Amino acid sequence: MTPRTTTFGLISDTHIPDRWRALPPSVFDIFDGVDLVLHAGDVGDLDVIDQLSSIAPVVAVHGNDECATATDVLPFQQMITAPNHRILLTHGHHPDRAQELALRKIDDWTPKLDRLADMAHAVDASILVYGHTHIGWAIHHDGVWIINPGAIASGNYSMRQKLQTVARLTLAADRDPVVNYFDITHPGQPIERPVDLAAGFRAAFDTISESLVTDDLRANISWFADHVYAQAPEQVFPILRQLMFRSLDNGHARIRITDLVDELLQSPNIPGAIKTHVQDTWG
């Protein structure tokens, strides 16, 4: 008798519509026939889950960069069971902001993987599915299969997710998990997702993401953060989003500091004191 298999569609970090406009149509083709879709957080609008549910039932958790509604209604973690397997679904961020920021400074993969494995051990799960890092991979660490499907959208307005991936996870009671990764822009065949642990987190992150800003803007990011963004974040967010989408829509043309300055000075929503400072600094 052939052992029964269960197939999951794995997706994370959609950030829709804040950093990507809509679910790519290829996701629906890649997930065709799965039994369950698992979304590992940073969903964006809850309509994303509704759309995925047209493929199969969806289990989702919230991430660290969500709209308030998603954070209110989606759990931090969720357990799913399949024959001979227990899966822990989580976004992977630390709920304490200070500890999260401290973890981001560590380039070594080992403490990151140890923490995820400990989360799985706490509920006796053999598989942990997470997101957050935007790096798609599957690794067996400390007795746990740690699986990340990758991401659809970048984690901030100054970067783009140059490798956008989702994954299919196939489970059978008598064998190890099988994980296949798919590039949503070329979805025909699974792709390999090797990660060099020894090279560290930053090296892996650089393979899947790319800056959208020029060196002159990056060199002045502290000025922008302290004198513009910190003074009026709600008014500045739409400008950053507009510049990001303009770049994505125009072949990833880099955003210059002059582009940012022009948008700040032209916006009717930016406080006059900030405009004056911008004009005095860059006018």
Domains and CATH numbers, the chain: 5-210 (3.60.21.10), 212-282 (no CATH)
Average pLDDT over every residue of 223-244: 95
Beta-carbon-side half-sphere exposure of residue 235 (alpha carbons within 13 Å)? 17
Q: Say yes or no to pLDDT of 2 above 70.
A: no
pLDDT band at 83 (very low <50, low <70, confident <90, very high): confident
- In the three-class reduction of DSSP (H, G, I as helix; E, B as strand; rest coil), residue 138 is classed as strand
CA distance 113 to 136: 14
Strand-strand pairing, 36-39 and 58-60: parallel
Query: pLDDT by residue (tens digit) across 153-172?
Result: 999 999 999 999 999 999 99
Q: Report the C-alpha gap between 160 and 169 in whole angstroms.
A: 26
Percent of the chain with pLDDT over 90: 94
Query: pTM of the entire structure?
Result: 0.95
Q: Could you tell me the strand order of the sheet in which 127-129 lies?
A: 77-82, 85-90, 127-129, 144-148, 137-141
